[in-house]
């Protein structure tokens, strides 16, 4: 059997220190007012159950330690009501039930991703049913229940999912038609597959880089707001054709589909429960999946397998890879695909010399900031696959040419 060469970078002493860079500020808070036109028609879609109502929270993963769920509802909330709900949720879910995760409240509703102790999952629905606005809330069970969160954050925001569309420019129309995973699968593999239709991935480009529905349009964007902006162009001239759309759990399609309906599109269909619900359908029925690869998630897992297909490649060596990671240098935090071999060779970094210096410094273990210039990026520079791949390629070239790191040729 041939040996595989593992490249590990060994630091040579630097001849000079570099100047520390001033930290980049936090992006400004959105100033978009809640649109009063968003009526109960859009609320109905968010309440379409991907399983029987409350089924997933009554007995799921009983043998495990924790279970991961997502949920959302578009429902008008007064500003003072969001403050009250924030206090109640923090106290009862966090302190009493030990729930971890991230929950957003706004005057347009609620959006949450949580990790709940398996012994308390049956208490989730009764807790939210105490509030009139959330009495029919449906919980979307994850495909993978590995560790997803470390703490609970309940925050009030301008919008539960940011689209940056002012209420004065676009009214929210009726909700799109919500298809169960069974209906979605049947239509896309049957009559819809033979007819004229448009299938749109409402996620970001880095999400679709590791998994997607076949034949879907995958917009090259890094924010939902950007996809909303180009959505009319994607469907121009197709007002009389069925438009299918999907996302992770359904929340983005509920908003985007309503916007299309407001623009005169009559036949807009969304996948209820999103890719997560479709993945459970495939697991349960054994049907050939129309989705290939992994479902990206916005938590510590950074994804869950829907099929065994690996459609991505490592940004550093080009090997097949669907394992997203963040650069181990907290100042950088670049999101990229990295195989286990490269993770070992580059110490889980993007191979920028500054990041390598940071994570290998003795102070890194105590979470101290880097003492030298830090590489800091705006959102698009941090996550866009094309931009990040190009930067990592430059990092590798510079690393080899600098003479500050050498390969030790360790074999395994």
For residue range 212-229, list pLDDT tens digits in order.
999 999 999 999 999 999
pLDDT (average), residues 346-375:
75
- Over residues 102-158, the pLDDT tens digits come to 999 999 999 999 999 999 999 999 999 999 999 989 999 999 999 999 999 999 999
Comma-separated ranges of CATH 3.30.70.100 domains in the chain? 52-160
Supply the pLDDT for residue 384.
98
pLDDT (average), residues 155-183:
81
- Percent of the chain at pLDDT > 90 equals 69
- Over residues 376-410, the pLDDT tens digits come to 899 999 999 999 999 999 999 999 888 766 554 33
Instruction: Please check whether the domain covering 52-160 is classified as CATH 3.30.70.100.
Output: yes
- Over residues 269-293, the pLDDT tens digits come to 999 999 999 999 999 999 999 999 9
- Which residues are identified as catalytic? 247
Supply the pLDDT for residue 402.
83
How is residue 386 written in tokens? 């094309």
- The answer to whether the pTM exceeds 0.85 is no
Neighbours of 25 (CB within 10 A): 6
Supply the pLDDT for residue 64.
53
Q: Helices marked H in 40-178 — which ranges? A: 40-46, 55-59, 79-89, 124-129
330 Cβ neighbours under 8 A, 6+ residues apart: 358, 367, 369
Supply the pLDDT for residue 363.
63
Give 3 or 207, the one with higher predicted confidence. Answer: 207
Average pLDDT of the chain?
Answer: 82
Buried b (16+ CB within 10 A) or exposed e, 236-246: eeeeeebbbbb
pLDDT beyond 80 at 338 = yes
Supply the pLDDT for residue 174.
86
Supply the pLDDT for residue 403.
74
Q: Are 180 and 47 in contact (CB under 8 A)?
A: no
pLDDT beyond 50 at 178 = yes
What span, in angstroms and rounded, lies between the C-alpha atoms of 257 and 259? 5
Supply the pLDDT for residue 361.
82
pLDDT beyond 50 at 20 = no
Supply the pLDDT for residue 49.
39
């Amino acid at each position: 059997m041939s040996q595989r060469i593992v490249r590990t970078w060994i630091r040579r002493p630097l001849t000079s220190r570099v100047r520390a860079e001033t930290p980049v500020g936090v992006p400004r808070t959105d100033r978009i007012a809640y649109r009063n036109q968003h009526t109960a028609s859009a609320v109905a879609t968010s309440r379409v159950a991907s399983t029987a109502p409350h089924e997933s929270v009554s007995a799921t993963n009983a043998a495990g330690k924790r279970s991961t769920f997502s949920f959302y509802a578009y429902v008008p909330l007064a500003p003072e009501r969001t403050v009250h709900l924030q206090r109640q949720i923090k106290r009862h879910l966090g302190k009493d039930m030990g729930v971890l995760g991230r929950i957003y409240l706004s005057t347009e509703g609620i959006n949450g991703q949580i990790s709940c102790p398996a012994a308390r999952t049956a208490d989730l629905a009764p807790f939210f049913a105490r509030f009139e606005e959330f009495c029919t809330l449906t919980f979307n069970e994850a495909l993978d229940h590995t560790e997803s969160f470390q703490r609970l954050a309940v925050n009030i925001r301008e919008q539960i999912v940011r689209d940056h569309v002012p209420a004065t420019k676009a009214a929210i129309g009726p909700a799109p038609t919500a298809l169960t995973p069974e209906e979605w699968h049947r239509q896309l593999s049957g009559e819809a597959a033979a007819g004229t239709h448009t299938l749109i991935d409402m996620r970001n480009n880095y999400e679709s880089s590791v998994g997607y529905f076949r034949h879907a349009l995958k917009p090259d964007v890094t924010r939902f707001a950007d996809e909303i902006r180009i959505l009319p162009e994607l469907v121009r001239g197709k007002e009389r054709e069925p438009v299918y759309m999907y996302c992770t759990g359904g929340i983005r399609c509920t908003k985007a589909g309503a916007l299309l309906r407001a623009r005169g599109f009559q036949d807009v269909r969304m996948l209820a429960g999103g890719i997560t619900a479709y993945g459970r359908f495939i697991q349960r029925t054994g049907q050939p999946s129309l989705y290939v690869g992994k479902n990206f998630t916005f938590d510590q897992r950074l994804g869950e397998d829907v099929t065994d297909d690996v459609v991505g490649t490592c940004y550093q060596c080009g090997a097949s890879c669907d394992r997203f990671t963040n650069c181990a240098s907290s100042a950088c935090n670049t999101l990229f695909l990295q195989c286990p071999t490269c993770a070992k060779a580059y110490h889980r970094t993007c191979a920028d010399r500054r990041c390598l210096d940071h994570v290998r410094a003795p102070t890194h273990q105590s979470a101290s900031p880097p003492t030298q210039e830090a590489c800091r990026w705006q959102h698009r520079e941090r996550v866009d696959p094309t931009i990040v791949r190009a930067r990592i390629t430059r990092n590798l070239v510079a690393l080899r040419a600098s003479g500050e790191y050498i390969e030790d040729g360790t074999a395994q």
